[in-house]
Amino acid sequence: MKTFVRASWMIVFAALLGGPTHALAADLSISIDFPSGSGRVQEIDRATRAIRLEPTPHKGRGWSCWWFVKVAGIAPGETITLTVGPPPWATPDHAAYSIDGGKSWLQTGKGERTKTNITYRQKIDAPEALFAWGPPFTPDDAAALVKEIASKVDGRDGVKAEVFELCKSNEGRSTPAVRLTPPASTDGARSRGLFVCARQHAWESGGSWVGRGFADFLVSDAPAAVALRKRTIVYFVPIMDIDNVAIGAGGKNQDPHDHNRDWTDKPVFPAVAAAQAIIRTLDKAGTFDLFVDLHNPAANDLKPFFFVSEQDQLSDLGKANLNRFVAESVKQITGPMALDPKTRPSGPAYDKNWRAISKNWVGANTHPGVVALTLETSWNTPNSNIQGYKTVGGQLGAAIAAYLDKKD
């Protein structure tokens, strides 16, 4: 998959006749021939150093809202103008950009909106730059992260950490995952069970970065993290919809449905079936307590919040445990993106396929005291960047540790 576009000689000729020029600037070019690349160029104006693009449409692969492009031919120090849209889901106030090949990501200044598009203007001190809807997190990043977790944890305090393949996707891609197994208890205390996953909707890259922050907490020397590892079976999957992330498709509402509407007795997606099997096994063994699914919400949701099951779907114990976990999370997730204490139900009024949403399936197919919920971390704020996401993830880890420590 590749797009490569250069400014037309007609535009250059017009500039020579009196339009604005960049005397020493080279032709701008756009490419997307890399993992998660997406973007269909509508226009490049060499004279004004302006680019107009939209997310690459992928028929049947969900919302066309994710874009991630490489711009080459930049005269270092010049300002690049990038216009994106529609749809509105593709237009965050601040886009992400990188001038070091994706090693680090910054935010553009606030874009200027019209009814259908947004325009970013960013000075670039490099001959090329990457621009994206948000900081990308690719399948290679997922594979590297699970290996890092295992290398930092395995053997410490008797904990076994194993990288494993959750599944092969429908298109044959490996879905990286990691499992932490605590040492056998010497005092008869049971092991707890935790399953954390991200990117059931491929375009929501912030979910993987929140997962990265959770992972940083999990492997840290913080006393709460050490205690969590020593008593908890942990499963972590940084990317569930590996196929759409790989090709730069949105994934949300794909055909016949997306991963987070696939939690049924006959899942379409191997990642969902594999996650269900793990959760059933843990629950049958009496070692399952908590399921957290990491997402990004709507553009106008400026605080992180939890989606939860309808109250009438929960037992009294389930309600009590859910309330305790949310209260603990409010204490821990304090900013720069502080958790909204008000949860939101996702039942029949939310979606006709509500029973097939992951947390609702988990709640209906595990013991009554299990807590299952979705964390939606805001993507359209000045703090919706790698550091902001990782901070939320680390604070989530602290909340998980505190909740499980007080549970028994």
Which value, in Å, is the radius of gyration of the alpha carbons in the chain? Answer: 22
> CA 210: distance to chain centroid?
7
How much is the pLDDT for 406? 87
How much is the pLDDT for 186? 66
How much is the pLDDT for 253? 97
> CA 260: distance to chain centroid?
13
Domains 5-132 and 139-407 share a fold: no
Q: Does the pTM of the predicted model rise above 0.85?
A: yes
What does the DSSP 8-state code read for residue 325?
H
* Structure confidence by residue, pLDDT tens digits, 162-172: 999 999 999 99
| Concatenated DSSP letters of 28-62 | PEEE--STT-B-EEEEEETTTTEEEEEPPP-TTSS
Question: From CA 90, how far away is CA 73, in angstroms rounded?
Answer: 25
- Contacting residues for 349 by C-beta, under 8 A, at least 6 apart: none
Assess if CATH 3.40.30.10 describes domain 139-407.
Answer: no
How much is the pLDDT for 187? 77
How much is the pLDDT for 180? 98
Backbone angles phi, psi at 307, to 5 degrees: -85, 135
Question: β-strands 290-295, 192-198: how paired?
Answer: parallel
For the chain, what are the domain ranges?
5-132, 139-407
Residue 383: CB atoms within 10 Å? 17
Assess if CATH 2.60.40.3120 describes domain 5-132.
Answer: yes
pLDDT by position in tens, the chain (length 408): 444 444 443 333 333 333 333 334 579 999 999 999 999 999 999 999 999 999 999 999 999 999 999 999 999 999 999 999 988 899 999 999 999 999 999 999 999 999 999 999 999 999 999 999 999 999 999 999 999 999 999 999 999 999 999 999 999 999 999 999 999 886 778 899 999 999 999 999 999 999 999 999 999 999 999 999 999 999 999 999 999 999 999 999 999 999 999 999 999 999 999 999 999 999 999 999 999 999 999 999 999 999 999 999 999 999 999 999 999 999 999 999 999 999 999 999 999 999 999 999 999 999 999 999 999 999 999 999 999 999 999 999 999 999 999 876
Q: CB–CB of 136/87 below 8 Å?
A: no
How much is the pLDDT for 8? 40
Cα–Cα distances (Å) from 194 to 57, 62, 287, in that order, read: 36, 29, 9
H runs (alpha helix) in 159-315: 205-218, 223-231, 242-247, 270-284
